[in-house]
Structure 1
Amino acid sequence: MSSSRREFIKKASFASVLFISGGFKFLSAAETEQLQRNVKLRFAVASDSHYGQKGTEFDKAFQTITDQINAFHKNSPLDFCVLNGDLIHNEKHLMPMVKQKVDLLAMPYYVTRGNHDMVTPEEWQGVWKMPINHDVVVKKNAVLLGDTSNEKGEYLSPDLKWLDSKLSKYKKLDNTFIFIHIPQTKWTPNAIDTPAFAELLKKYPKVKAVFHGHEHDQDGVRMLNDIPYLFDSHIGGNWGTKYKGFRVVELLKDNSMLTYIMNPTEKINELQTK
């Protein structure tokens, strides 16, 4: 590992460092560094920038997180980044402006629509050049980005027919990662309950993890049917965790998964293996 990488690890903060392989356990930064020698896929996920929300420093916050992700990428290259919903705060005219700012990311990126992204599917496609339900393949892994809202900002279930078709299409790949803004199990106050979503995923053993936004005060993991459902705090807005950060996911050569929250401004919630 390079000296610049070590220095970055030393300065960076790890919250909820998890090693997921048939369950999960918490790791220290030192243990994380040891495992990172075997990374075969690495990506970041961030959510809830709420660009344009009155009473917040939304422009500064967005610039800060973009710089942080790019700085991380310089030392530990990311294969892609996902912005998992609520890019803007209601006002649709802001979406093209956010697109310009997201384009400053130095790695490929994908986006999902959140309940505050109050644009039509056609407007979304026009700005982002990708549909509201989108799928890509990265290094023999499927990335499924599902829509869970609409122009009215309602909390919705994802299109299960679309999801089933994509899960079936990619079932022979190494893994599938699913990104949806609104949680579909009522673990949190702002989630909805869609039992059919969890039942569908049970049919596909290659589902590696599901990622949510929406809940700004959540940065942990819930397990359901041996699948981790992960939250990543927030990068904007007027409520949530005291810090604003992004989640990093590292798939290791043995197909286990390492994940942690990056908060480069202070060291928080360092956890030891039990």
Structure 2
Amino acid sequence: MKNRRDFLKTLGLSGAVFLSGEAFSADSFVASRSKVKLRFIVASDGHYGQPKTEFDTMHDTLIGHVNKFAEKEKVDFCVINGDLFHDDPSLLPQVKQKLDQLKTPYYVTRGNHDRVSDNLWEEVWKMPVNHSFTTKNHAVILGNTSNIKGEYLMPDLNWMRSELEKAKAQKNTFIFLHVPQVPWVEHCIDSPDLIKLFGEYKNIKAVFHGHIHSLDGLKMHNGLPYLFDAHFGGNWGTEYRGFRVVEVMKDNSILTYMMNPTVRILEEKISV
């Protein structure tokens, strides 16, 4: 019989790290497949139309792998977390047409390279730059962190507070912001008022960022997990182009991992 390490290698999980510090056996991993009550996918930074990149192929690859994943495992929704296209506003309808090939409902946030007006963004995507929804007793908040100039911004604080207040009625809240709001590395910004606000709402389970193509892991700040998913397009970043999967279990623990894009890596288990 294979031992735990061999089993995890077979699943592509040999580099697993578990935040809770709990033992997580091969048997419990297999059993967990039937305990997922919500599953979603996050992908960022497709940069459709960036010169000297194979952006069409990159998008086709992502869409193909996400659709194939969703055929095997039920996916409730996807979030494309910013930098959907690369600067040129005429690319917006084209990337919309491309992403519509996803077979799972999807939502978007605006990144600093998505340089269009708020009105055009809403006209094309049928959702405003600041958007939220609920599903299966979970709140999902998608905040705007840029503008038509491509500036790095803190999301509207009054809007965020209002959304977080409404989300208190839900079991969990997940927040998606393209530009990181803690200055971990270059090209992040520092938004202490926003981070303080997050600390007031205990049902926030994770914040998801794009923007930093070289980051594909987790950073903790004031007890809250901030998760990155590298990139699936563009001309720099991690060697692989993939997407993140998040699974909320019936006991409300959260399992998350990257797909690179065919093998699970960088597994994290977040305690209740």
Partner of 1:190: 187
**Residue number among 116, 124, 129 corresponding to 1:127 in the alignment:** 124
Give the TM-score normalised by structure 1: 0.89
User: Does the 8 Å CA contact 1:14/1:260 hold for their aligned counterparts?
Assistant: no
TM-superposition CA deviations, 1:196-232 (whole Å, max 9, x none): 1110011000001000000000001011222110000
Partner of 2:4: none
User: Does the 8 Å CA contact 2:246/2:257 hold for their aligned counterparts?
Assistant: yes
TM-superposition CA deviations, 1:133-174 (whole Å, max 9, x none): 000001110000000000000011111110000100110210
Distance 1:59 1:13 in 2: 28
Relative CO higher for 1 or 2, CA cutoff 8 Å, sep ≥ 6? Answer: 1
**Residue number among 69, 72, 75 corresponding to 1:72 in the alignment:** 69
Distance 1:28 1:55 in 2: 45
Give the TM-score normalised by structure 2: 0.89
Partner of 1:143: 140
Partner of 1:173: 170
**Residue number among 157, 161, 166 corresponding to 1:164 in the alignment:** 161
Change in 2 beyond 3 A, CA 1:160/1:14: farther
**Residue number among 252, 260, 263 corresponding to 1:263 in the alignment:** 260
Distance 1:149 1:29 in 2: 43
Unpaired runs of 5+ in structure 1?
A: 1-8
Shift of 1:265: 4.8
Q: How many residues align?
A: 262
Partner of 2:30: 33
User: Does the 8 Å CA contact 1:80/1:107 hold for their aligned counterparts?
Assistant: yes
- After superposition, where does 1:1-274 map in structure 2 within 5 Å? 13=12, 17=16, 19=18, 23=20, 32-265=29-262
Change in 2 beyond 3 A, CA 1:60/1:251: same
TM-superposition CA deviations, 1:243-266 (whole Å, max 9, x none): 000000000011010000011456
Shift of 1:26: 9.6
User: Does the 8 Å CA contact 2:82/2:111 hold for their aligned counterparts?
Assistant: yes
User: Does the 8 Å CA contact 2:217/2:266 hold for their aligned counterparts?
Assistant: no
Partner of 1:5: none
Aligned to 1:216, what secondary structure does the other structure show? coil
Shift of 1:27: 6.5
Distance 1:142 1:262 in 2: 24
Unpaired runs of 5+ in structure 2?
A: 1-7
Structure 1 segments (4+ residues) deviating >3 Å: 9-20, 23-34, 264-271
